[in-house]
Structure 1
């Protein structure tokens, strides 16, 4: 016979074994543009029956300023701790848009007519302490000057609210590129991907050219990466922005002066699209894998789409092989131009070896697809294991000693 204390213990065990029901609260981002001072004023409003107990933001003190709240907020260097109370709380701060990536070249900029920036810089990284099962339901709106509009990688509701959803986290934080201001844009569905190309009105960005280029090539990239985001934003502008391409979740930036296909048969636009598709980053020695795959598929996609001929494809690979021959050791934290060139040749060798071992039933596409499915950090060991699983044998083309420029040690004399 169970006594009352034992019944209480049993009841507690049963309650603990039942998964907590998911509960939600609203997180609403309101962003007001002030081009006169180059700032965006951010308000984060939380509301619901239950709110997180603490949010700790990792800020850049030079760009995130003037924090205030309806509840407790503590600022210590690069850390801001916000403790919401009750069923309703607000946090306010200023975000300095302008940021130089190189002297005189900006990767975030605000003018009198527009602003280009990363949403994940606008809202800094945050650690949230909340009850088990408690999740946010987030939206974002912009308060803009007359004739200004906003575009992002997020869908917009009929009342101009962006729906922010990050399924990997319980607290939704906006990510990717955003462009606000007096804009010109083109939009089209390509292979099931809602594709938007946007630039400031009057800028020399080739919006229609980029959209046509994507119509031609994106379907071939989707053949390798079927889990590509269903919505893609490409933003572009000219000087004084940084003269290159930069990827982010479901979005990318391309300087207006960059050609769609370079003289060496590579494409910055396709290169950054591969980064969007794969969502991977290297460990301390594997950036060559990330950059090598992106450059390989930028050329390979052009080849498959007919954008370059077989002869020009071969010439491109020969040039890369010559350039990459000076990179003896691929293992480094940051891949240089020569290292990336050699990495492309390694990827081509991996493709050929897999095709040979599987009698054409598999290729590098299968490896890249699996890495894109996993996302996150990639290493040589992960690449080796993934390729071996697909090919059925270890690959000679991924031997560490060869890739790092080491020579095999002679066997000891008996």
Structure 2
């Protein structure tokens, strides 16, 4: 009898502490993929508020799988809830009230995403450009024994709204679209009527098409949406969620540049690796290196421009594994580019040109565990077929190594790129230090780089200001607290 009682208590304890008996909170808004009845599908339907400039109306419709026993959601900061169906208010959260398969929450929310380098989205009298994280709910749920539910998010426009809804961004207002077919896939440019596009559309589509056809690592989406930001917004580019198919690029950005932002942001759509803080630089460093390499191979820049970019001496002594110690976020762009270039050259030399850094990225993007420096060095060595551990570690943490540029230029097939139209004045910024910025989100999860957390947004170069410094200090302070 005593044995039976003990066994019963143990079973009860296991059930009570099992993940299927506990709730889980969605991390920063992300799309983690659905699996039929095991996914919680949330669709945000967007509508402009003509008499309330600066805000949009959102109706979130949430479809609940049968084995989800309870759900609570929190509206975005500063949102005003207008009505609810199947949900009741409980302080700052809204909870399901019964067995309803679909619940709804309608609210208005401010639009105007600020990053370290300025304003990326806006709602004006004439148009709206927004990122999904601005309208997304934070959710907790409980479920019965069965598959762990996943949190799926999508965007849609309300009837009568003229615009385009992507996966992680949307535009509403007067616009034109330009579409290019690439090997059966599509690239769609959404060009607002208020945007003064510096390069011609053909040049942009040529550049991204070349990058798509040439890139091999990571996710190759069947539909890429490029939202052109009106010139009044911050220069540079912005990817709301790495690994997803939407990017935002300011209309004033040129194509014929070693820091071709159109290609830089495209490369972020392929990135699916989770990183530890010591390897956060790789996302920007590899995107910037391939920006220069792909623009060069397409004929958009000269060999000298390519050489200058990948041999830059800016931030060459920064320890890339210690972002808290950088004198500016530009280290990940400048030294990161040079480190990736040096490793790419070393791999080509070691394998007679049969393998490149793209091979390394392809392997890393298939990894499930967060990327560390040790795993990075190990993967580079495996691709090279030689021990490059010491070289990689020294390159990342010490002075940037020299780059044998001839190894990277001679085999490159040269294309012919379309010309930029540069006569019109724009507000495009020169090449200045850039940063990666992750907007604020609930921090219930103890590990900011856990596999359930959304991948960081990416903010490509802009003016570095006092406000930017304060923003970076805040980001680093939060990260330091999360590590403790």
TM-score normalised over the length of structure 1? 0.74
How big is the shift at 1:369? Answer: 2.1
Q: Does 1:69 align with 2:113?
A: no
Q: Are 1:233 and 2:225 matched, yes or no? A: yes
Among 50, 54, 62, the residue aligned to 2:66: 50
> Which of 26, 32, 50 is 1:35 aligned to?
50
**1:17 — aligned with what?**
none
Q: Does 1:99 align with 2:92?
A: no
Task: Evaluate the alpha carbon distance shift between residue 284 and residue 104 of structure 1 in structure 2; reply closer, same or farther with a 3 A threshold.
Answer: closer
- Mapped partners of 2:200, 2:84: distance in 1: 46
Q: Which residue in the other structure is 2:164 paired with? A: 151
**In structure 2, C-alpha distance between the alignment counterparts of 1:194 and 1:374, rounded to whole Å:** 27
Bigger mean CA deviation after superposition, 180-189 or 388-397: 388-397
Aligned partner (choices 290, 315, 320) of residue 308 of structure 2: 315
1:186 has 2:178 as partner: yes
Structure 2 residue aligned with 1:286: 279
> Residues 161-180 of structure 1: matches in 2 within 5 Å?
175-180=167-172
1:111-155: CA deviations, max 9, x gaps?
A: 12211111233223434333424778987542255xx422133xx
| Deviation string, structure 1 residues 291-349 (Cα, Å, up to 9, x no partner) | 1101000001012222223333223333x2x2233x43112347722442111111111
TM-superposed CA distance for 1:42, in Å, is 2.2
Structure 1 position 188, deviation (Å): 1.8
**How much is the aligned-residue C-alpha RMSD, in angstroms?**
3.3
Whether the aligned pair in 1 keeps the contact of 2:63 and 2:102 (CA below 8 Å) is yes
Name the SS for the 1:99 alignment partner: coil
- Per-residue deviation at 1:102? 5.5
Deviations 1:33-60 (A, max 9, x none): 2132133222233568837332343554
| 1:366 maps onto 2:356 in alignment | no
Residue 122 of structure 1 is matched in structure 2 by 135
Structure 2 CA distance for aligned equivalents of residues 360 and 104 of structure 1: 39
**Offset, 1:179:** 0.8
Give distance in 1, aligned partners of 2:252 and 2:46: 30
Q: Using a 3 Å threshold, how does the CA distance of structure 1 residues 177 and 225 change in structure 2: closer, same or farther? A: farther
Aligned to 1:258: 253
Q: SS at the partner of 2:157?
A: strand
CA 1:312–1:343 in structure 2 vs 1: closer, same or farther (change >3 Å)?
same
Residues 259-302 of structure 1, C-alpha deviation per residue, up to 9 Å, x if partnerless?
Answer: 2233xx22111111111111345422222211110100000101
Q: Cα gap change, 1:392/1:50 in structure 2, threshold over 3 Å: closer, same or farther?
A: same
Q: Note if 1:305 corresponds to 2:298.
A: yes
Mapped contact 2:289–2:310 kept (Cα < 8 A): no
For residues 4-45 of structure 1, the C-alpha deviation after alignment (integer angstroms, 9 at most, x for no partner) is xxxxxxxxxxxxxxxxx9647875543332132133222233
Mapped pair 1:215 → 2:176: no
**1:45, 1:329 → 2: CA distance?**
46
Q: Is the 8 A contact 1:217 1:301 kept in 2?
A: no
Q: How many residues align?
A: 354
Query: What is the alpha-carbon distance in structure 1 between the residues aligned to residue 65 and residue 342 of structure 2?
Result: 58
Q: By how many angstroms is 1:197 displaced?
A: 0.5
**Larger RCO, structure (CA 8 Å, separation 6 or more):** 2
What residue ranges of structure 2 are gaps of 5+ in the alignment?
1-34, 400-484
Q: 1:112 is matched with which residue? A: 125
Bigger Cα displacement from structure 2, 91-100 vs 250-259: 91-100
- Is this contact kept in 2: 1:278–1:371, CA < 8 A? no
| TM-score normalised to structure 2 length | 0.64
SS at match of 2:269: helix
- Is the Cα–Cα contact under 8 Å of residues 318 and 331 in structure 2 kept in the other structure? no
Encode CA deviations 1:190-221: one digit per residue, 9 max, x unaligned.
23331111122242135x72443332453344
Task: Give the aligned partner of residue 356 of structure 1.
Answer: 349
More strand by share: 1
Counterparts in 2 of 1:321-340, with a 5 A limit?
322-325=313-316, 327-333=317-323, 336-340=329-333
Structure number with greater Rg is 1
Change (3 A) 1:261 1:287: farther
Cα distance in 1, alignment partners of residues 88 and 47 from structure 2: 21
Please give the secondary structure, in 1, of the residue aligned with 2:318: coil
